[in-house]
Structure 1
Amino acid sequence: MTHFKLCLSATALGLGMLALAPAAHAVPSFARQTGQDCVACHIGGFGPQLTAYGIRFKLGGYTDTDGQGTKVPLSAMAVGSFTHTGKSQDEAPAAGYRRNDNGTLDEASVFLAGRLAENFGAFVQATYDGVGKSSALDQVDLRYAQTLALGGKDLLLGLSLNNNPSVQDPFNTLPVWRFPYTGSALGFGGVETGTLLNGGVEGRVMGLSGYGFWNDHLYAELGAYRSLSPAMQTKFGLGAADDPGRLHGSAYWRLAWLDDRKRDSWTAGLFGFSSSLQPDRTPGTPSNRYADIGADAQYQFLGTREHVFTAATSYVHERQTRDAWVAAGAADQLRGTLNEFRVNASYHWQQTWGVTLGQFITNGSADSLLYASNGGFRPDTAGQTLQVDWTPFGKEDSWLAPWANLRLGAQFTRYSKYNGAASNYDGAGRNASDNNTFFLFAWTTF
């Protein structure tokens, strides 16, 4: 592989692809299958944030049903938006768009989501990217689950076949499902640099994990991942040009405790993901090694569902050994670290009106080559995201419930630091506050 391709792999993985819009999922086929309102599983009458009931439904393999005949496990989703940044971007964020003030269809998805057999269920998403004008296989989580008994208590055992580390996680704190649940693809919806767990191999691997949930409290999971070949990535619509390389020696693990007291609930846990990634798939070429470890917690107050409060936090520490990047001249430090901290709190009134405030902080060790274009040669980015939203459809008395679901929202992301500095972070006079992003969105599922 050429030096250019190795540097491209370093950029695609080490700097992540986190400027893209986060995942946004709420699937009404689950509501039709269970006979439950969307508010039974989701905070604010809309996904993806799960209640304790929703957590159990996911762990049960998406198979719980009301017993009233077979339901078609299909749903669809669309997200449209308008984006304004504090200062126009130096170049248009995508082909066919302006440097500022852009409206777009962010994405349109179809889902195979629900019970496929007695103990087998699926969450499979195919997405049309309205910005990139392409279609691809998106998130995949196929599950088998069965309940046994251990020590006189229920023990739910399951298997998950999935294509993105943490997409199978049932809580609201790991990268795929944490706040913000949707964001701008044409502005600055987060940080550019992320850990391997935070989207570094999303959709380009396949993994199998086994999990257990004992006595409705203790959750444990262990799994491993293998990379998809460039040819297979192309078949799934992902394109081989952004192939991060060959993943090997990977391990994913998760421990968590859930205490559901009906009116409120809390969880606390630990998690980790470690792997080697070989940017050049040629045998004998060097690899980069990643070791991610983190802790998380969340609290939900549901009460009578009139006033709902939530809070969630997570911290990830990543150790990197950069043999491939150093050999390619893409990094000058053999070892480095990266840290991600997230915390958010939300309030919803009558499962209709909501407000959420989140803080994000990413920092790490300096590297004059890997972060050559950043202030101080560091990946550091920090700021806050405020979202207010209105969910008119998605509750028991909603129009065409549970077929019609709609959330309208306004989101503002403020940056106090971006790519290493608060001011002139790119050496060309651009400040972190210039990237402040105002994002209006309409998100519907049916």
Structure 2
Amino acid sequence: MSLFPAGKHLLARLACVALPVLAAANAHALPSFARQTGEECAACHIGAYGPQLTPHGIAFKLNGYTDGNGKASLPFSGMVVASLAHTSKDLSAPPTDHTSLNDNALLQEISGFAAGKLSDHVGGFAQVTYSGAEHKVSMDNLDVRYATTLQNNAIVGVSVNNNPGLQDPFNTLPAWRFPYTSTELVPGAAGTILDGGLAQQVVGATAYGLFANHIYAEAGLYKSMSRNVLDKLMNIQPEGKLASAAPYARLAYYRDMHKQAFSAGVVAFNANIQPDPASDLTNKYRDLGVDAAWQFLGTRRHICTISGSYIHEKQTLDASFAAGDSANPTATLNQLNINTSYTFDQTYGLTLGAFRTTGSEDTGLYAPAADTGSNNGKPDTQGYTVQTDWTPWGKESSWGSPWANVRVGLQYTNYTKFNGGSTNYDGSGRDAKDNNTLFGFVWTSF
């Protein structure tokens, strides 16, 4: 699913990721949390289903997933995603050994969660996932927290997690932004290292705090897991590792106005990746992003949200350049995402998202076929995604509450440019519009 040929350098595995794969792997509204708090899913999630958080949901996450109603509850949940995906033109080869060139009906994901309160100050979730596309089971997302409230009402805590940005309380960074689920079976586009490039390959600890009810600050470090752990527990075989601890920093302004909520912030992440353990050369990725979001909540009958993020990545490719895998020793990559949604009665949703990726021309990184008039070595991709969905359960009066939840949705993604071009972007006659995808899904948690 990478835009690179098999066997290419580490950048192909880490810096260019298929965004839909990552989106489909996220943890969402978990009924075990609803059972723990005694509240409906709609209390914490817009549209009665995750991962969009209300201010109440943000507070629950910042407090370490520890709020409860004083009663014992079962700290386990499950999630199943079934889907059907159709692209405008058949792929040149099946995306996995277990799929077809087009019109793939798939039991896309089955996940189990241990999720809930461990003590008055410790809580979190751990996810194990079976992928229907790849027929494998692996450890997925992890976020375990310690949190406490100081005398001045500041919330402070520590998160141990395995994906930079997974611990963030807002729905603007790549780990939690729209689309929240999508097909795993379309070609992948270039993405920044913060956009899931190290997801499930690292473990990190970050300290965070919400001060004066408005200022959110967070900082921490990430390190690569051992190859033995990645192979046996994560079912991943990466080609490289972090050469040193990777720092992560976040600063945001947040305001809960009850009927409205607003956030705006900056994020930074630096990773030095060593592709070859026999060489001291590394590839350096410096990500700096800005983001903002606004929610209109009103009486919760009509909910509108607008969110956006921009991430700029500077790449210093000493290892790839020395190995002949990049044409230039430095490069940049930029990602812009803007999304808006409307939810009626916590049941019916409509979301529109626009995305644009641009970057430096590099005939080594992006492997064009220059003599055929293809992408000329550029990562540029842009288009939009529209989704309509129905969430019949998740409210207090719903059937099966708080044990059952389901969302049924239809999503369409249109590409005006893909991996550098609008036409013949891969040198074999494939156009950007050939990847336009209609994706239907049934997504349930219990």
Same fold (TM over 0.5): yes
Question: Residue 137 of structure 1 aligns with which residue?
Answer: 139
**Residue 366 (str. 1) matches residue 361 (str. 2):** yes
Question: Residue 76 of structure 1 aligns with which residue?
Answer: 78
Question: Residue 159 of structure 1 aligns with which residue?
Answer: 158
Task: Write the mapping of 1:127-276 to structure 2, written as runs, cut at 5 A.
Answer: 127-149=129-151, 153-187=152-186, 192-240=189-237, 242-276=238-272
Q: Which amino acid aligns with 1:155?
A: A
* SS in structure 1 at match of 2:387: strand
Report deviation, 1:118.
Answer: 1.1
Report deviation, 1:327.
Answer: 1.0
Return the TM-score normalized by structure 2: 0.95
Question: Residue 288 of structure 1 aligns with which residue?
Answer: 283
Q: 1:208–1:224: 8 Å Cα contact kept in structure 2? A: yes
Report deviation, 1:245.
Answer: 2.2
Report deviation, 1:235.
Answer: 2.1
* SS in structure 2 at match of 1:58: helix
Question: Residue 126 of structure 1 aligns with which residue?
Answer: 128
Q: 1:17–1:200: 8 Å Cα contact kept in structure 2? A: no
- Structure 1 CA distance, aligned partners of 2:116 and 2:141? 14
- Structure 1 CA distance, aligned partners of 2:14 and 2:150? 41
- Structure 2 CA distance, aligned partners of 1:142 and 1:166? 14
Question: Residue 330 of structure 1 aligns with which residue?
Answer: 325
**Residue 112 (str. 1) matches residue 114 (str. 2):** yes
Report deviation, 1:6.
Answer: 7.6
Q: Deviations over 1:281-313 (max 9, x none)?
A: 23x420001100000000111111110100100
**Residue 311 (str. 1) matches residue 306 (str. 2):** yes
CA 1:358/1:144 → structure 2, altered by over 3 Å: closer, same or farther?
same
**Residue 57 (str. 1) matches residue 60 (str. 2):** yes
Q: 2:165–2:175: 8 Å Cα contact kept in structure 1? A: yes
Report deviation, 1:21.
Answer: 5.0
Question: Residue 371 of structure 2 aligns with which residue?
Answer: none
Q: Larger deviation: 172-181 or 93-102?
A: 93-102
- Structure 1 CA distance, aligned partners of 2:356 and 2:200? 25
Q: 1:421–1:432: 8 Å Cα contact kept in structure 2? A: yes
Q: State how many pairs are aligned.
A: 435
**Residue 14 (str. 1) matches residue 6 (str. 2):** no
Q: Larger deviation: 337-346 or 88-97?
A: 88-97
Report deviation, 1:247.
Answer: 4.1
* SS in structure 2 at match of 1:377: coil
- Structure 1 CA distance, aligned partners of 2:437 and 2:142? 30
Q: Larger deviation: 94-103 or 124-133?
A: 94-103
- Structure 2 CA distance, aligned partners of 1:397 and 1:46? 15
Question: Residue 102 of structure 1 aligns with which residue?
Answer: 104
Q: Deviations over 1:298-357 (max 9, x none)?
A: 011111111010010000000000001001110011010000000000001101000000
Question: Residue 315 of structure 2 aligns with which residue?
Answer: 320
Q: Which amino acid aligns with 1:218?
A: I
* SS in structure 2 at match of 1:286: coil
Report deviation, 1:36.
Answer: 1.1
Report deviation, 1:239.
Answer: 2.8
CA 1:243/1:127 → structure 2, altered by over 3 Å: closer, same or farther?
farther
- Structure 2 CA distance, aligned partners of 1:64 and 1:21? 28
Q: 1:75–1:110: 8 Å Cα contact kept in structure 2? A: yes
Q: 1:159–1:210: 8 Å Cα contact kept in structure 2? A: yes
Q: 2:140–2:234: 8 Å Cα contact kept in structure 1? A: no
- Structure 1 CA distance, aligned partners of 2:90 and 2:6? 30
Q: 2:201–2:225: 8 Å Cα contact kept in structure 1? A: yes
Q: Larger deviation: 12-21 or 392-401?
A: 12-21
- Structure 2 CA distance, aligned partners of 1:15 and 1:161? 25
- Structure 1 CA distance, aligned partners of 2:9 and 2:321? 14
Return the TM-score normalized by structure 1: 0.95
CA 1:252/1:59 → structure 2, altered by over 3 Å: closer, same or farther?
same
Q: 2:288–2:312: 8 Å Cα contact kept in structure 1? A: yes
Segments of 5+ residues of structure 1 without an aligned counterpart are none
Q: 2:416–2:433: 8 Å Cα contact kept in structure 1? A: yes
- Structure 2 CA distance, aligned partners of 1:74 and 1:346? 30
Q: 1:31–1:37: 8 Å Cα contact kept in structure 2? A: yes
- Structure 2 CA distance, aligned partners of 1:280 and 1:17? 23
Q: 1:264–1:302: 8 Å Cα contact kept in structure 2? A: yes
Q: 1:21–1:184: 8 Å Cα contact kept in structure 2? A: no
CA 1:51/1:244 → structure 2, altered by over 3 Å: closer, same or farther?
farther
Q: 2:313–2:332: 8 Å Cα contact kept in structure 1? A: yes
Task: Write the mapping of 1:319-398 to structure 2, written as runs, cut at 5 A.
Answer: 319-373=314-368, 375-398=375-398
**Residue 36 (str. 1) matches residue 39 (str. 2):** yes
Q: 2:243–2:282: 8 Å Cα contact kept in structure 1? A: no
Q: 1:7–1:325: 8 Å Cα contact kept in structure 2? A: no
Question: Residue 26 of structure 1 aligns with which residue?
Answer: 29
Q: RMSD between aligned alpha carbons?
A: 1.4
- Structure 2 CA distance, aligned partners of 1:244 and 1:120? 33
- Structure 1 CA distance, aligned partners of 2:402 and 2:201? 33
- Structure 2 CA distance, aligned partners of 1:104 and 1:216? 44
Q: 1:12–1:244: 8 Å Cα contact kept in structure 2? A: no
Q: Deviations over 1:40-92 (max 9, x none)?
A: 1001010011011101100100000112x222211000000000001111111
Q: 2:41–2:48: 8 Å Cα contact kept in structure 1? A: yes
Q: Which amino acid aligns with 1:441?
A: F
Identity of aligned pairs, percent? 47
- Structure 1 CA distance, aligned partners of 2:13 and 2:58? 32
